[in-house]
């Protein structure tokens, strides 16, 4: 088969262009610092990189949820601590009230303080977070959970919901408690059920009537036990959030390292490859230059 001058010329051009493309690819990698400039550079590695990006996005969302969970639980924990302190003071007043040596004016002073503590407890149950959402309303975050009619009756207006947040692919955690489980349905010494507020209100009413009873102490202790139990549960969830946050942060570092291994450029190898491609490109230019001068007419006299 005869090879014409034009065929030799075109083949040399094609070789030079192909070598130039290889050189440009290495130059792009060196300038970007990335091994995968395009998916076609390594389809398998590109697919793995996309999978890792998706995992990173999930992990970032879970870390954000953990921050939100920590904030909510910190607020609830602090609120419950205040509630326990208020009830402890109510209990101290109840102990004082059964002292037969108290005068009517002393009992009146205790009653006034007890009603003030009651108002504080109701306000505490209606605590809102930074977004204006009620902490103890369940899913009804726009509704004040506890209301009073002024006659010693207290109503819970929220629902039984318990908000949760996803903190890992397989794990959710409760970031709140509804007021029904915290403040309502407490077993009393009389055998019925009452709320934290009703117990304190009854105590104040007994002082007003001059009939304080030791049963009040039993009821207040039951209210304290309820708040303390919820407080302990919140503390356990706070520890779980801290632990999961450490796990997720460590996992994020692993994902970063794996993506770096796949996508980042090995500069030593790339520079060596660049020198090889540059040498090959220069050689192709020299070959093209020689082919340009080849013609049968150059050898005809």
Question: H-helix or E-strand containing 187?
Answer: strand 186-187
Confidence bin at 104 (pLDDT 50/70/90): confident
What pLDDT is stored for residue 301 in this prediction? 47
What pLDDT is stored for residue 185 in this prediction? 95
Instruction: Evaluate if residue 215 carries a pLDDT over 80.
Output: yes
Express each pLDDT in 54-98 by its tens digit.
899 999 999 999 999 999 999 999 999 999 999 999 999 999 988
Instruction: Please work out, in degrees rounded to the nearest 5, the angle formed at the alpha carbon of residue 124 by the alpha carbons of 118 and 126.
Output: 110
Q: Which residues contact 91 (CB under 8 A, 6 or more apart)?
A: 217, 220, 221, 224
What pLDDT is stored for residue 10 in this prediction? 61
Question: Could you tell me the residue ranges of all domains in the chain?
Answer: 55-257, 267-294
d(CA 161, CA 245): 25
Confidence bin at 103 (pLDDT 50/70/90): confident
Pair of tokens at residue 254: 């692993």
CB 266 within 8 A of CB 36: no
194 DSSP β-pair partners: 186
Pair of tokens at residue 95: 């102990």
Segment among 23-37, 153-167, 183-197, 239-253 with least mean pLDDT:
23-37
Instruction: Evaluate if residue 30 carries a pLDDT over 70.
Output: no
- Residue 117 or 265, more confident: 117
Instruction: Evaluate if residue 266 carries a pLDDT over 60.
Output: no
d(CA 68, CA 74): 10
CB 183 within 8 A of CB 137: no
Q: Tell me the percentage of the chain whose pLDDT exceeds 90.
A: 57
**Each residue of 82-102: b (16+ CB within 10 Å) or e?**
ebbebbeebbebbeebeeeeb
CB 250 within 8 A of CB 93: no
d(CA 235, CA 106): 38
Q: Please compute the mean of the pLDDT values over residues 215-219 and round it to a whole number.
A: 93
What pLDDT is stored for residue 32 in this prediction? 61
Signed CA dihedral, 149, 154, 157, 158: sign only: positive
Instruction: Evaluate if residue 255 carries a pLDDT over 90.
Output: no
Confidence bin at 248 (pLDDT 50/70/90): very high
Q: Please compute the mean of the pLDDT values over residues 175-190 and round it to a whole number.
A: 95
d(CA 60, CA 166): 12
Residue reference for tokens 């904030």: 71
Average per-residue pLDDT in the chain?
83
Instruction: Evaluate if residue 270 carries a pLDDT over 60.
Output: no
| Superfamily (CATH H level) for 55-257 | f41 fragment of flagellin, N-terminal domain (1.20.1330.10)
Q: Please compute the mean of the pLDDT values over residues 138-160 and round it to a whole number.
A: 94
What pLDDT is stored for residue 1 in this prediction? 46
């Amino acid at each position: 088969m005869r090879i014409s001058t034009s065929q030799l010329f075109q083949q040399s051009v094609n070789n030079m262009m192909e070598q130039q493309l290889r050189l440009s690819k290495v130059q792009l990698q060196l300038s970007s610092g990335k091994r995968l400039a395009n998916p076609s550079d390594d389809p398998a590695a590109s697919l793995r990189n996309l999978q890792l990006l998706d995992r990173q996005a999930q992990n970032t969302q879970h870390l954000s949820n953990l921050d939100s969970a920590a904030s909510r639980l910190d607020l609830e924990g602090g609120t419950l601590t205040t509630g326990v302190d208020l009830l402890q003071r109510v209990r101290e007043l109840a102990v004082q009230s059964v002292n037969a040596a108290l005068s009517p004016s002393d009992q009146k002073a205790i009653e006034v303080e007890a009603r003030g503590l009651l108002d504080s407890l109701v306000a505490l149950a209606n605590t809102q977070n930074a977004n204006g959402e009620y902490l103890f309303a369940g899913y009804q975050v726009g509704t004040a959970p506890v209301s009073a009619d002024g006659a010693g009756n207290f109503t819970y207006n929220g629902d039984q919901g318990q908000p949760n947040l996803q903190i890992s692919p397989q794990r959710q955690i409760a970031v709140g408690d509804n007021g029904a489980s915290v403040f309502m349905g407490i077993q009393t010494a009389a055998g019925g059920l009452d709320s934290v507020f009703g117990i304190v209100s009854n105590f104040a009413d007994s002082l007003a009537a001059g009939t304080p009873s030791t049963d009040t102490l039993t009821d207040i202790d039951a209210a304290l036990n309820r708040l303390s139990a919820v407080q302990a549960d919140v503390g356990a969830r706070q520890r779980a959030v801290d632990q999961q946050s450490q796990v997720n942060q460590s996992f994020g570092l692993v994902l970063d390292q794996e993506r770096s291994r796949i996508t980042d450029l090995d500069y030593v190898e790339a520079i060596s490859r660049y020198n090889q491609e540059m040498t090959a490109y220069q050689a192709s230019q020299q070959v093209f230059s020689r082919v340009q001068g080849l013609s049968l007419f150059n050898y005809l006299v």
